[in-house]
Amino acid sequence: MAKLDPVTLSNKFGFSLFNGFPYLITTVAEAGYHFTLLPGGPPSMLYALALSQYIVNDLPQCLVLRHDCYWHWPDTAPGEGPPLGGTIVWGKLLPFRLFPITDDLASRYDRLARFDGNGGGNILVPDLTEGSRSATAEEIRRLAGKQQNGVPVGLARCLKCGQWKGECLGLIPNFADKVKPVHCLCSNRNFCASCGHPFHRYKLNANYYDEAAGQIRYVPGFMALQHRCPEQMESKLRPAEVLQ
């Protein structure tokens, strides 16, 4: 948990903190954030709602209250404040249920639409490292080359889903000295809270091995924003139209 001082945060970083509390910020890309405005309620209820959303979406998330914020993500340091700046979107990642659009929620969504505190423009940029890390000399020696079947050394077929998983060196020059974690279908934990379907066939912000093309593919987190629940597909109703 971190204590919030909106004035200090705004002055320190040069960006404003949106004050339409309470809300969730979900990180979907490098400096790309999805806002979900929440109805008023006791902090315990809001925290439980945020935790449930995090467990299903499996994306970095911050619950922002008037004077506190709570991060849900293993790699986030305790006491870290909410993200500021970046590109802001909303109305795409649906919660477990749609909240009634009260005058208060409508007013806050209107303010969010006019919020000028983001400094990242309107472009969502994927992680340019594609989740890779620099390889050690030992890893370059051990993971160099390909197996007899043409699959990069370090990958093994998952006995459950049949896809490839493990760690290998990048297959293009820019990543030749990088170790890339590769995930199979079983690793995907990114689900829509509204319909329970996965946002993408493969894990977000992660790599998978495309056996047919012999390439490692990266799935950026903002692919979650393209998800449409089956009932929305049938009614041709977009989430943004439901929430705004």
pLDDT in tens, 78-92: 778 898 888 899 999
Structure confidence at residue 234 as a pLDDT band (50, 70, 90):
very low
Query: What are 150's two structure tokens?
Result: 């043409």
| pLDDT reported for residue 121 | 57
pLDDT, mean over the chain: 88
| pLDDT reported for residue 45 | 93
Mean pLDDT of 3-9: 58
Structure confidence at residue 122 as a pLDDT band (50, 70, 90):
low
Q: Which own/partner contact pairs does 183-190 have at CB distance under 8 Å and 24+ positions apart?
A: 183/207, 183/208, 184/158, 184/160, 184/208, 185/158, 185/161, 186/158, 186/160, 186/161, 189/58, 190/57, 190/58, 190/59, 190/224
CA distance 50 to 63: 6
| pLDDT reported for residue 69 | 92
Q: Which of 4-8, 69-73, 170-174, 187-191 has the lowest mean pLDDT?
A: 4-8
Torsion sign across C-alpha atoms 230, 126, 168, 181: negative
- Taking residue 22's Cβ as centre, other Cβ atoms within 10 Å add up to 23
Residue with token string 């946002």: 199
**CB 211 within 8 Å of CB 78:** no
Which of 6, 23, 2 has its CA nearest to residue 15? 6
| pLDDT reported for residue 74 | 86
Q: Which residue did the predictor score with more confidence, 211 or 12? A: 211
Residue 28: pLDDT over 80: yes
Q: Which residue did the predictor score with more confidence, 27 or 239? A: 27
Name the percent of the chain lying above pLDDT 70: 86
Q: Which of 8-17, 90-99, 192-201, 213-222 has the lowest mean pLDDT?
A: 8-17
Q: Which residue did the predictor score with more confidence, 96 or 50? A: 50
Residue with token string 């200090």: 8
| pLDDT reported for residue 232 | 62
Phi first, then psi: give them for residue 22, nearest 5 degrees: -90, 160
Mean pLDDT of 95-122: 82
Mean pLDDT of 27-40: 92
